[in-house]
Amino acid sequence: MLGDPTDGAFLVFAGKGDFNIPSALLKNPRVGLLPFDSQRRMMTSVHRSPDGSITAYTKGSCLDVLDKCTTIYRDNQLAPLTDEMKENIIHQMDDFARDGYRVLAMSIRSLPQELAEVTPDVEKEMTFLGLAALRDPPRPKVETAVREARRAGIRVIMLTGDYELTAEAIAKKTGLITSSNYVVVSGRELGRMSDEQIATMLYEKEVVFARVTPEQKLRIVRIFKSKGETVATTGDGVNDAPALLEANVGIAMGVGGTDVARESADMVLLDNNFISIVEGVKLGRTTFDNLRKFVYYVFTHNWAELTTFIAFVLLYVPLPLTVLQILAIDLGMDVLPSISLIMEPAEPGVLDKPPRRVGSRLIDARVLLRALYLGAIIGAVGLFSAFTIWANAGWVFGRNTVADPTEYVSCLLYTSDAAEEEDSVDL
């Protein structure tokens, strides 16, 4: 199935009922369409029948559709929609929602044949037809992904347009709600709260937002950012574009997502799977750690090489490393080990570390000081080895030093035989 999953589910439902959709559309061509809107929370398709009559078919949020209905179609006839009937319908909707179903209501309305324009005004005084309960289960491993995200110090919050009970049921199944200290906030309640009230609630409880509008989603993103948080937002619709742009990282759905959402996002999930976000975090942390290992490695041995030159300049000793030796170290000892460090797999527990601060850098004072500390140790060991070898050859620190550094090369060219022949030679 390509396209919107809800529409796809209705197509499958119609097919199971042996309803020929292409044939019905040929006999009853569409003359108008009111797309789904986050404010109305319903959509309407208007069609003309062979006898010339015009009918509006509506599906959408159960409470919103029910609010627009005055009659009900039951026992093959129209009847007034009483308050008791509405309560029964809402009770059935709640039962579906508690089981994790997404519930939509369906209705129709006969329109005058001289209808000139299709406007939202057609969505009133409708006839209620029934409820449709859609099973929209969480993807496999979402619960594991949420648990891994929490280990990594990432908080996951659900913002959905679904009914409150449906959102609560899904949140419990996916592990977003793990205690009794939680609250499900509807869009209407959210509209009456101040930013400070929302911020306090976000940090004190597990929160699920239901029936939220795109404007409210954007507002929550801004509240988190105002508290210094790094925010990643997912979305797939045109209305999600503002929140995707406002977030530090906008993540669009690649399967079924709109072009506007993909253009507004920083990342696109090709598989629409939440676990891919966690894997991306893991990969990012691993890459950062490997780059820092590379920096440690390069700077450490550079500090070690520098230590030998410092000894050469300050102590007037022979040059421990020649230019060719330095080139051999840099080319022979840098390239392959550096590549291997970059390609290392993730360390165990990489997701157990807290997130890095926003202003953290790859190379900072701590990295340089640690590299200096390790490099000084390596350089000291190298100098000790050099002094030991020179001492075994008869060199004595202080006594054998010369004022002219150019004599250091010839200084070590004397053989033991030459020293035996002329005892007065001062090595």
**Tens-place pLDDT, residues 1-16:** 777 788 889 999 999 9
Q: What is the DSSP string of 175-194?
A: TS--SS-EEEEEHHHHHTS-
| Residue 307 near residue 321, CB atoms below 8 Å | no
Task: Average the pLDDT over 46-52 and give the result.
Answer: 91
| Residue 176 near residue 206, CB atoms below 8 Å | yes
Give the model's pLDDT for residue 116.
Answer: 73
Q: What is the DSSP string of 287-306?
A: HHHHHHHHHHHHHHHHHHHH
SS3 106: strand
Half-sphere exposure of residue 22, counting CA atoms within 13 Å on the CB side?
0
Q: 73: how many CB neighbours lie within 10 A of its CB?
A: 17
Give dist(CA 417, CA 425) in Å, integer.
12
Which H or E element spans position 199? helix 195-204
Give dist(CA 421, CA 425) in Å, integer.
9
Give the model's pLDDT for residue 398.
Answer: 65
Which H or E element spans position 170? helix 164-173
Nearest CA to 55 among 38, 31, 74, 80? 31
- Which two tokens mark 266? 């920083």
Which H or E element spans position 157? none
Query: What band does 405 get if pLDDT is binned at 50, 70 and 90?
Result: very low
User: Which residue do the tokens 């993807």 mark?
Assistant: 139
Give the model's pLDDT for residue 180.
Answer: 86
Give the model's pLDDT for residue 103.
Answer: 93
- The residue among 359 and 210 whose pLDDT is bigger is 210
Query: What band does 218 get if pLDDT is binned at 50, 70 and 90?
Result: very high
Of 100-114, 149-163, 318-332, the one with minimum mean pLDDT is: 318-332
Does the pLDDT at position 390 exceed 90?
no
Q: 411: how many CB neighbours lie within 10 A of its CB?
A: 17
Does the pLDDT at position 89 exceed 90?
yes
Give the model's pLDDT for residue 402.
Answer: 44
Of 194-198, 370-374, 417-421, the one with minimum mean pLDDT is: 417-421
Give the model's pLDDT for residue 399.
Answer: 58
Give the model's pLDDT for residue 217.
Answer: 93
Q: What is the pLDDT of residues 92-134, one digit of tens each?
A: 999 999 998 999 999 999 998 887 788 888 999 999 999 999 9
Share of residues in the chain with pLDDT > 90 (%): 40
Q: What is the pLDDT of residues 8-41, one digit of tens each?
A: 899 999 999 889 999 999 999 999 999 988 788 8
Does the pLDDT at position 424 exceed 70?
no
Q: What is the pLDDT of residues 258-271, one digit of tens each?
A: 889 999 999 999 88
